[in-house]
Structure 1
Amino acid sequence: MTQLQNRPVVRREGINRRGSLEPRDPRSPRRSTAIALVLACATLITLDKTGGALDPARRLVGEVFGPAESAVSTVTRPVTSIPDWLRTRSGMKDDLAKLKSENAKLEQQVRTTAYDRNRLAEYDGLTKAAENIGYAVVPTHVVALGAAQSFHRTATIDAGSASGIKPDMTVVAAQGLVGRVLRVTSTTATVLLIVDGDSTVGGRASSSMKVGFVRGDGQLDGGSLELQLIDQNATPATGDTVVTWGSTKDAPYVSGVPIGQVTSVYSSVRDSSKTAAVQPYVDFGALDLVGVVVPSGTKSDRAIIDADGKLKP
């Protein structure tokens, strides 16, 4: 027993006789290894900052692993680029759809350019016409052409009593006289065209100031007018401009509106009277924007072009 008690006890590192863990020795190999690594890293950082001593080693690593990295990148590039390819394809579809939409809009603009240009020219012309004759006009659009009651050449416009329009008002276009208002509703009006066979307008030859009556021949497209002067001894001059001489209280026609141009003069064998053929300035086969002459200060549900050619709400 004495010998066994005196024998030195051999203990395993970190484990006591009872089998429980003991605190490690500060000088254990694991902590020593960590300290060595930290010192090595500090040394490498210092060398790299100071003199570039690691450049040969860095080049060597690059020469060894560079080709391999390039090969791996070449192999994996088709796979890694799939998401970008999908996003690019989707973006191309969106761009293509956008371009198609823009192209359709441009084509529409090209197709309607002439129409828009003509409408703008008509509006400008109507503005100048209002300024030339010295009357305010309500701009309207022709929405139908046809017959009404006993008249054969009429037009329907998209403005009526709500716009300040009444029967027996003068209707003009940018080029000249169109006709007079026959009847109205709240939103439309029927206009008797001067080319109707039953239409009679007081006209004046501008060069001689001689007055007479202008009648239509009933033809809408390519029709002509006839001017017969009251003074049968007067002869209208070819190329002369015929304008309205005006009515009492400007109804149904105001004065000074261009009607047409004298193209020829012929005499009647029966009564020795002279009649002038007049080509109207207005193309009745292409009526669109027209203006109804209204008194100054008329209340309207739309803008009115005043006698100064300015648009007033």
Structure 2
Amino acid sequence: MRDTRESRLLLVLLVAIAFALITVDIRGGQESPVDGARQAAAAVFGPVENGVASAVDPIGNAIGAVRDSGERHNRIAALEQENAALKAKLGSDDRNRSRLRELDTLLKTAGAGQYGIKGAQVIAIGAAQGFSWTVTIDAGARDGIRRDMTVLNGAGLVGRVTTVGPSTSTVLLANDPDFTVGTRLEKTAELGFATGQGNGPLLVQLLNGKAKVKPGDRLVTFGSHGAKPFVPGVPVGEVVRVDPLGGGLTRNVYVRPYVGFSKLDIVGVVVQAPRTDPRDTVLPPKPKPAPTVTVTVTPPPPDGQQPGQNPQNQNQPQNQQQGQAQQQGDQPALKPGEQTQQAQPDQQTDPQDPQANPQNPQDPQQDQGEQTP
């Protein structure tokens, strides 16, 4: 349509008519004269609007989802960060509690043996040192660590220091095949030498081939001259197997170490030896055996038998029961107030004596004894 004067006048006229109809419709309320036209328009254009809406709604929903996806993604990312922070805090708390327990047991062990220790943490496993069983700790020469010092934790013997740096040290573990330590058996004080066997138990050769040893016996370190490389009294392990006597000069036993070498964390390096040998005092107390509960089940009595009745009484021979009845029938029945008297075999009685013969009918005492009370 061209932009001419007539078209402009027509547009102004249509706008004026629209305003007039709107004014009439508002003032008419429910009785508006254009209500019929409105209903007719709704009937005509309603289906068209529904079709257009059903076609346009998915597009609008997709646009809204794209618009909201950024906010939703940011919210999910914030929640994931918060969850990771909570997990890290929880893991840190559990680790701190575990380290506190290890430190507490280490201090108790050092106190029981009167060891002067320097605490350290395992920071590396000795892959760089070859195939030997070693760990690296975060304490070195600056901390007073020297070569050939005993290393322990709250459970017992860990190893000995082999290499010392300014701030770190290397510890040879007790389960290394090149590791050997003198041991003493609890109570009997039998001496031997323990050698590491990797993941297996320690092999201990007792010097006395006839020594009495059994599974469950415990060993501690015997100690070295000058307390280097080993101080005395450090728990080593518990006997799990004993080789039979073979007539040799030594005897082999296998000992499970107290220390878990695959989960070392907090350790202590003994920088001052004890003044006296603690012997077996560092060993933990043996657990008391649990009491054994014995339950006795009493079988129910047979049918027709009263509880507590001896079943042998029912199976007595008939002649035995008859003999008991006959023996009871031979005894005279006593009257009330009457007592039985037995004559002594060395006492002679006169049948004419009324006092000596209780069966004399002329005895007045008998008459009195036969009275019924």
TM-score range (shorter-chain normalised) is: 0.5 to 0.7
Q: What is the letter of the counterpart of residue 174 of structure 1?
A: G
Q: Map 1:98-247 onto structure 2 (within 5 A).
A: 105-146=85-126, 152-217=132-197, 219=198, 222-247=199-224
Q: Map 1:58-77 onto structure 2 (within 5 A).
A: none
CA distance in 2 between counterparts of 1:150 and 1:105 reads: 38
Q: Map 1:278-297 onto structure 2 (within 5 A).
A: 278-295=255-272
Aligned to 1:306: none
CA distance in 1 between counterparts of 2:245 and 2:174 reads: 23
Alpha-carbon shift at residue 132 of structure 1 (Å): 1.3
CA distance in 2 between counterparts of 1:286 and 1:134 reads: 25
Q: What is the letter of the counterpart of residue 166 of structure 1?
A: R
- C-alpha offsets along residues 78-132 of structure 1, whole Å, 9 cap, x if unaligned? xxxxxxxxxxxxxxxxxx9999887654332223333222111111111111101
Query: Quick check: which one's strand share is greater?
Result: 1
- C-alpha offsets along residues 27-83 of structure 1, whole Å, 9 cap, x if unaligned? xxxxxxxxxxxxxxxxxxxxxxxxxxxxxxxxxxxxxxxxxxxxxxxxxxxxxxxxx
Please provide the CA RMSD for this pair: 2.5
Mark the runs of 5 or more structure 2 residues left unpaired by the alignment: 1-75, 274-373
Alpha-carbon shift at residue 153 of structure 1 (Å): 1.0
Of 181-190 and 105-114, the range deviating more from structure 2: 105-114
CA distance in 2 between counterparts of 1:112 and 1:135 reads: 30
> Structure 1 residues 232, 270: closer, same or farther in 2, change over 3 A?
closer
Alpha-carbon shift at residue 276 of structure 1 (Å): 1.0
Q: What is the letter of the counterpart of residue 86 of structure 2?
A: L
Alpha-carbon shift at residue 156 of structure 1 (Å): 0.9
Indicate the structure (1 or 2) with the bigger Cα radius of gyration: 2
Of 126-135 and 142-151, the range deviating more from structure 2: 142-151
Aligned to 2:286: none
Q: TM-score, normalised by structure 1?
A: 0.58
Of 146-155 and 166-175, the range deviating more from structure 2: 146-155
CA distance in 1 between counterparts of 2:137 and 2:113 reads: 21
CA distance in 1 between counterparts of 2:178 and 2:80 reads: 54
- C-alpha offsets along residues 213-272 of structure 1, whole Å, 9 cap, x if unaligned? 01111x2xx431011111111032211111001011100000000010111101374837
Task: Please say if 1:261 is aligned against 2:241.
Answer: no
Of 234-243 and 268-277, the range deviating more from structure 2: 268-277
Q: Is the 8 A contact 1:151 1:192 kept in 2?
A: no
> Structure 1 residues 148, 247: closer, same or farther in 2, change over 3 A?
farther
CA distance in 2 between counterparts of 1:150 and 1:231 reads: 36
> Structure 1 residues 203, 192: closer, same or farther in 2, change over 3 A?
same
> Structure 1 residues 233, 185: closer, same or farther in 2, change over 3 A?
same
Q: Secondary structure at the match of 2:95?
A: helix
Task: Please say if 1:275 is aligned against 2:255.
Answer: no
CA distance in 2 between counterparts of 1:139 and 1:263 reads: 31
CA distance in 1 between counterparts of 2:125 and 2:269 reads: 17
Q: Is the 8 A contact 2:122 2:135 kept in 1?
A: yes
> Structure 1 residues 198, 267: closer, same or farther in 2, change over 3 A?
farther
Alpha-carbon shift at residue 151 of structure 1 (Å): 6.8
Aligned to 2:296: none
Alpha-carbon shift at residue 150 of structure 1 (Å): 7.5
> Structure 1 residues 149, 267: closer, same or farther in 2, change over 3 A?
farther
Q: Secondary structure at the match of 2:90?
A: helix
Alpha-carbon shift at residue 154 of structure 1 (Å): 1.1
Q: Is the 8 A contact 1:148 1:154 kept in 2?
A: no
CA distance in 2 between counterparts of 1:261 and 1:281 reads: 7
Q: What is the letter of the counterpart of residue 269 of structure 2?
A: V
The number of residues matched between the two structures is 199
